Amino acid sequence: MADLGLAIQRAQDKTEQMKARADAVSELEQAGTFDDLTSLGGGQDDIDRQLSQLTTAGQVDDELAKMKAEIGSGSGGDDAPALGQGEGEKEPAQ
């Protein structure tokens, strides 16, 4: 019976501690201390978002390098239109 009494007492102590923590978290939440966890979107945390941005930035850099290579390897012949003066632009005075 003594063991049962101790087990019940531990359970009550643990319940009181959990209630105290819940109350403290509620107070902090009402004070605006916590960030809005629903704004993370898709269960991502800050590290996941940063990794995603770095991956995207790397893809953009790769795409830019590929485009530069394509432009640089162009033949410059008759099949590619030449860049010229726009219709509304005047020739600069010399």
pLDDT tens per residue across span 42-71: 566 778 778 887 777 778 888 889 999 988
Task: Grade residue 7 by pLDDT with cuts at 50, 70 and 90.
Answer: very high
In terms of C-beta distances under 8 Å and separation of at least 24 residues, what long-range contacts does 82-89 make, across chains too?
Answer: none
Contact 33, 27 (CB under 8 A): no
